[in-house]
Chains A and B, each alone.
Chain A
Amino acid sequence: MLCVEAIAETSRLKTRAEIARERAEIAHAMLADCRFCAHDCRVNRLAGEQGLCHAGAEARFFSAQTEVSDELELIPTFAVALSGCDLRCAFCITGESSWNARAGQTFNASAIAAKACDALRQGARTIMLFGGEPTIHLPAALEFVAAMPPDARLIWKTNAHGSSQARALLVGMFDVWLADFKFGNDACASRLAKISHYGDVVKENLLWAHEHSELIVRHLLMPGHIDCCWRPIAQWTAENLPRVKVNLRAGFWPAWHAAGHAELRGTNSRADIDRAIKIGHEFGLNFIN
């Protein structure tokens, strides 16, 4: 009888929370040789070393509130913005906090999970982790998942610049990957976000996300970047992720250091927005709002 009970116990399927708890410990240990994003800095964050994101071992957050500006099928969403990012997008709308991993407050996974549960009780449809970039805070993100109920619909809002090591820890943790596809070529990515090999990395992440979860691809239309960025993104997405939901965000505004780039000093014109939408339709993209 004891043997049967033992087998039954070990063969019991683990819950998402249980798996997340185990992986959070693994992720925390991985901070000693950080390979969470594609920069592959391999610094020891536990010992105070900093990679390109400048994040330490402690996660911080700069916003946690219920919002309705995301995709209609996701809102209202209780959105938690973790401080710090591995990219340096000149036009970042939350640059002050996204470029500074020490901005905001200490992220207490249990406390924020309690707030998230309150939001769900008050009508929030989903819970979203974003930033900055949540990938660089994988231990805290997994602790948060471990503290959430199994039926909570969790959204991973990411710049899709994570590593295979990070993705391995994210399997089955989030219901939807809401992934940015920011640049359609490596030259623009290098000039505007100080990042190399962007195209290969983001495509690898998007293909993986499509295989392992629901995927929504987002592109923030940048003034002057329809043909160099949006068109190739639309084409690649149509060819490689047909029928995947795509949200073309046209509300660019010249935030943060955007003024350092002549073409980013304004907003998108109505004519340019219409042209971008037309390109998407020509490629048969599955647009959502």
Chain B
Amino acid sequence: MSAENLAEKLPAKADAGETTDLLLLPDGRILVHGLTESFARLLGELAPDDEQFSSRIIHPEKSPQ
């Protein structure tokens, strides 16, 4: 199947559910693009010491009005 045909069978991102792109580096760093709340919570559990995720986990009781 050509890449073009495959692309036609895949849902467009605008059609898909939430999408986050990750790049895992050999040194353990995790780079993220388009981080969603659910993925931030997941990454926060996997890397609890990484402030870039913990600071982005929205706690409902702390949500701004």
A residues contacting B by CB (< 8 A) are 61-69, 72, 75-76, 79, 93-94, 97, 103-105, 123, 125, 251, 253, 267, 289
Given A68-B35, A69-B34, A69-B35, answer yes or no on A104-B12 (Cβ-Cβ < 8 Å): yes
Q: Does A67 lie within 8 Å of B36, measured CB to CB?
A: yes
Instruction: Indicate whether B25 reaches chain A with its CB closer than 8 angstroms.
Output: yes
Contacts A65-B19, A75-B58, A105-B15 aside, 4 further interface pairs with beta carbons under 8 A come to A63-B14, A66-B36, A75-B56, A93-B21
Smallest Cβ distance from B38 to chain A, in angstroms?
Answer: 10
Q: Does A69 lie within 8 Å of B32, measured CB to CB?
A: yes
Give the chain A neighbours of B64 by CB distance below 8 A.
125
Q: Does B33 lie within 8 Å of A62, measured CB to CB?
A: no
CB-contacts of B6-38 with A (<8 A): 12-15, 18-19, 21, 23, 25, 29, 31-37
Chain B interface size range: 20 to 34
Instruction: Indicate whether B63 reaches chain A with its CB closer than 8 angstroms.
Output: yes
Q: Does A68 lie within 8 Å of B36, measured CB to CB?
A: yes
Q: Does A62 lie within 8 Å of B37, measured CB to CB?
A: no
Chain A residue at minimal CB-CB distance from B58: A76
Smallest Cβ distance from A243 to chain B, in angstroms?
Answer: 23
Give the chain A neighbours of B36 by CB distance below 8 A.
65-68
Q: Does A104 lie within 8 Å of B13, measured CB to CB?
A: yes
- Considering the chains assembled together, what is the distance between the CA atoms of A94 and B33 in angstroms? 9
Which of A93, A94, A105 is in CB contact (< 8 Å) with B12? A105
Q: Does A62 lie within 8 Å of B58, measured CB to CB?
A: no
Smallest Cβ distance from A110 to chain B, in angstroms?
Answer: 16
Q: Does A64 lie within 8 Å of B14, measured CB to CB?
A: yes
Instruction: Indicate whether B55 reaches chain A with its CB closer than 8 angstroms.
Output: yes
Smallest Cβ distance from A256 to chain B, in angstroms?
Answer: 12
Give the chain A neighbours of B31 by CB distance below 8 A.
251, 253, 267
Instruction: Specify which of A67, A75, A94, A97 lies most central, judged by the most chain B CB atoms within 10 Å of its CB.
Output: A67
Instruction: Specify which of B14, B23, B56 lies most central, judged by the most chain A CB atoms within 10 Å of its CB.
Output: B14
Give the chain B neighbours of A65 by CB distance below 8 A.
18-19, 34, 36
Q: Does A72 lie within 8 Å of B12, measured CB to CB?
A: no
Which of B12, B21, B32 is in CB contact (< 8 Å) with A62? B12
Q: Does B55 lie within 8 Å of A289, measured CB to CB?
A: yes
Q: Does B37 lie within 8 Å of A66, measured CB to CB?
A: yes
Chain A residue at minimal CB-CB distance from B30: A251
- Considering the chains assembled together, what is the distance between the CA atoms of A202 and B9 in angstroms? 39
Q: Does B58 lie within 8 Å of A63, measured CB to CB?
A: no
Chain A residue at minimal CB-CB distance from B23: A253
Give the chain A neighbours of B12 by CB distance below 8 A.
62, 103-105
Which of B14, B19, B23, B32 is in CB contact (< 8 Å) with A61? B14
Q: Does A67 lie within 8 Å of B14, measured CB to CB?
A: no
Which of A62, A68, A72, A75 is in CB contact (< 8 Å) with B13? A62
20 CB < 8 A contacts A-B: A62-B12, A62-B13, A63-B13, A63-B19, A65-B19, A65-B34, A65-B36, A66-B36, A66-B37, A67-B36, A68-B36, A69-B56, A79-B34, A93-B21, A93-B33, A97-B13, A123-B58, A123-B60, A251-B32, A267-B23
